[in-house]
Structure 1
């Protein structure tokens, strides 16, 4: 009987210590688009490389096991991709993560038409999840902005057509 009480006391102490190790305040990492470039252009699929800036607003490191990203342009689905790159976000810091996203020719042609209409700004939205060991379901993120100065990128795509 005494042994059971001793084990119960140890288990309770271990749980209390573990609870104290969990930070009181957690802010989700922020993800923003730093750059986009054309990687491969095929008849059925196109691949772009995204440079994502992943920022940790917390006062402790966060290990990241991967990312899932969707890209919408002008409120239309454009590309998606996943990365299993493992990085550690430094406390109050950021890391650049390069990842490939894939789209199809139909989506690219829709966006080229928008560029040809004279609108050199394209509204974008990136959204998805950051995966961390303590949050297996992932931490959702979303970021909106405008892509400007796409003349060079659209010229490269048009040359491939």
Structure 2
């Protein structure tokens, strides 16, 4: 009799623990642009370097397959692309991704007065971080300065 009671008590504790774990919410990773600057300007093209930080708030790792992105300067779409490196973000950790974006000079020619007057232009960087299970959108607006 005591043995049966002990078995039921152990089974109840196991099921309660299992139920508690299954109700733990899966949190969406947080994605933010940490740094943006123009790193190179030539007569044909310009290179902007964006650093994106992906924070994993979950108790399990997240596997990234890449990033699709588009960039607008002062409201004009000037670049689109993909970053196709695979990486893993450990549980409760973050990782920074460096993404160079090449922009043709003809597409930013109209932005020269903004660079001269203000030393920067407004950027919008948006896209999708790809994982094996789902795609996570991101959107950030900021100022893009010229590196001296």
Scaled by the length of structure 2, the TM-score of the pair is: 0.70
Match of 2:121 in 1: 122
Match of 1:67 in 2: 67
- Unaligned 5+ segments in structure 1 are 1-16, 153-161
CA distance in 1, matches of 2:119, 2:47: 21
Matched, 1:142 2:139: yes
Does the CA contact (< 8 Å) of 1:35 and 1:52 recur in 2? no
Shift of 1:39: 5.0
5 Å-filtered alignment, 1:38-53, equals 38-39=39-40, 41=42, 43=44, 45-53=45-53
State which structure, 1 or 2, has the greater radius of gyration over its C-alpha atoms.
Answer: 2
1:68-90 per-residue CA deviation (whole Å, 9 max, x = no partner) reads 11111211212222111111112
Match of 2:30 in 1: 29
CA distance in 1, matches of 2:42, 2:47: 6
Counting matched residue pairs gives 129
1:110-130 per-residue CA deviation (whole Å, 9 max, x = no partner) reads 2222112x1234222110000
SS at match of 1:25: coil
Match of 2:9 in 1: none
1:30-58 per-residue CA deviation (whole Å, 9 max, x = no partner) reads 13142334357462x44433322222233
5 Å-filtered alignment, 1:7-22, equals none
SS at match of 2:107: helix
CA distance in 1, matches of 2:66, 2:23: 22
- Unaligned 5+ segments in structure 2 are 1-17
Does the CA contact (< 8 Å) of 1:80 and 1:103 recur in 2? no
Higher RCO (C-alpha 8 Å, min separation 6): 2
Shift of 1:101: 1.6
Scaled by the length of structure 1, the TM-score of the pair is: 0.66
User: Residues 81 and 36 (structure 1 numbering): CA distance in 2 closer, same or farther, change over 3 Å?
Assistant: farther
Shift of 1:60: 2.6
User: Residues 112 and 22 (structure 1 numbering): CA distance in 2 closer, same or farther, change over 3 Å?
Assistant: farther
